[in-house]
Amino acid sequence: MITFQYSHLRSVTEADVKAFDSRIARADEAIRNRSGAGNDFLGWVDLPVNYDREEFARIKEAAQKIKRDSDILLVIGIGGSYLGARAVIEFLQGVYYNGKRKNTPDIYFIGNSFNGEELKNVLELCEGKDVSVNVISKSGTTTESAIAFRIVREYLAKRYTPAELSSRIYATTDRSRGALRQMSTENGYETFVIPDDIGGRFSVLTPVGLLPIACAGIDIDALMAGAAAEREALFSAGLSNDAYRYAIVRNLLLERGKAVEVLASYDPSFRFLGEWFKQLFGESEGKQKKGLFPASVVYSSDLHSLGQFMQDGSPILFETVCTLSKPATRDLTVPFEEANADGLNYLAGEAMYKINKKAMLGTLLAHEQGGTETLLIRYDVKDARTLGELIYFFELSCAASGYLLEVNPFDQPGVEAYKKNMFALLGKPGYEEQRASLEEQLKNI
Ligand code: PA5
């Protein structure tokens, strides 16, 4: 179960939240009736109850085959075609998943940068191992992923016959358009479809996320069931549901001059959920010179780096702490030591979960005192079902929050600008005109 708490905030009252009644009603209508800006990208709303069962079964079969015949799965993709799968796998299987002894393949995420050294390092890890590839791109033309895919194909072609190589490549892409769809048809790759009405950052519960997640041995039925349960719970709670409350409170804080939301967790395996959150909210809201800047930290580690700023720095931010509300099921306790040289015997027998909780509560009070307010999102269990709930909670609150801000939460016009410059500087055909002007501008840089 996911709960949202803001009742302890000093700067936000129930009356402030109530004042959003008509705005949240409009946002809700835009989402439910598909009547707002970007309404052709609302496929994620009903996805947990309305997904392609036949394809879902094929995902499981493909995952079984990959588990049987592969030591390594290379997942090629960037942005929405990357972050969700990695976030789910790291949260549920741990940051050190690849180092575990297990009957599922190691999973490496590539094609999410232009860094050749990193790709080379991953290919070295593939030496002598059986490898499968899941290449993910809705457009089928994203440069980072396309370059990585080309390099991987060349590398694996030295090892496998063309037919075997094709049988090891799984493409997740558009139903009919794009270079990757065409290559899949020509080479006979097994394909999975990214629905037209679901944008990259809302696609973790489509085959984009589900195939890698299933390959990591995670129960994708439970993940979908959690999302479906949260969908039901939120919509049946009406306009006062927690996802909408969260959307309202973060907008209220923005109106009070808090321009940065820092998503904080006390669990290192949450780090990539923070990355996923940043894309979800950053790309959905950061437009028309509006929006909260989404940041993320993992405590207590980051208390030793950013803690000073959070306590005492520019008063531009608030925190949203995501925390496990019940004791962790896998945990350690502090052992007793006769000598007590480190002075830790006062904690002997204490579960680390409890110590972590006290750190969280102590930090919350300290930060509140320093002027940094904290919103609380609690999840009661760390499992696939609850993570499905959390994903849906954030997706719905993000859409509502974007509509409260009066932006289209489902487009991303700003991400094209750097690409145009990069293509021109790289000499991509069709960009010749811009190149000379850009090179002139670069003279002093
Ligand atoms: O959310 C988005 O739309 C982006 O982050 C895309 O997912 C990302 O740019 C990758 O695009 P594609 O899947 O077309 O390769």
Over residues 206-233, the mean pLDDT reads 98
Distance from C-alpha of 429 to C-alpha of 71, rounded to nearest angstrom: 39
Distance from C-alpha of 422 to C-alpha of 51, rounded to nearest angstrom: 37
Structural contact between residues 319 and 365, judged by C-beta atoms closer than 8 angstroms: no
- At 389, the pLDDT band (50, 70, 90 cuts) reads very high
Give the Å distances, CA to CA, from 287 to 32, 291, 292, 346, 420.
23, 7, 10, 51, 18
Residue 444 pLDDT > 90:
no
Over residues 330-356, the mean pLDDT reads 97
**Per-residue pLDDT tens digits for 19-36:** 999 999 999 999 999 999
Strand order in the sheet with 317-324: 2-5, 374-379, 317-324, 260-265, 293-298
* Predicted local confidence at residue 228, as pLDDT: 98
- At 85, the pLDDT band (50, 70, 90 cuts) reads very high
Give the Å distances, CA to CA, from 65 to 93, 104, 130, 214.
20, 10, 12, 11
* Predicted local confidence at residue 415, as pLDDT: 86
Distance from C-alpha of 92 to C-alpha of 381, rounded to nearest angstrom: 11
What spacing in Å lies between the alpha carbon of 330 and ligand 1's midpoint?
A: 35
Q: Establish whether 8 is a catalytic residue.
A: no
What spacing in Å lies between the alpha carbon of 180 and ligand 1's midpoint?
A: 14
Residue of 40, 75, 81 to test ligand 1 pocket, by largest number of atoms within 8 Å of CB: 81
Residue % of the chain over a pLDDT of 70: 100
**Per-residue pLDDT tens digits for 281-293:** 999 999 999 999 9
Over residues 340-347, the mean pLDDT reads 98
End-to-end CA distance of the chain: 52
Backbone phi and psi for residue 78, each to the nearest 5 degrees, phi listed first: -140, 155
* Predicted local confidence at residue 440, as pLDDT: 87
What spacing in Å lies between the alpha carbon of 137 and ligand 1's midpoint?
A: 7
CB atoms within 10 A of CB 273: 27
Residue whose Cα lies nearest atom 1 of ligand 1: it is: 200
What is the three-class DSSP state of 378?
Answer: strand
In short, whether 408's Cβ falls inside 6 Å of ligand 1 is no
Mean pLDDT of the chain: 96
Whether this model's pTM surpasses 0.85: yes
Looking at per-residue confidence, does 271 or 101 come out higher? 271
In short, whether 139's Cβ falls inside 6 Å of ligand 1 is yes
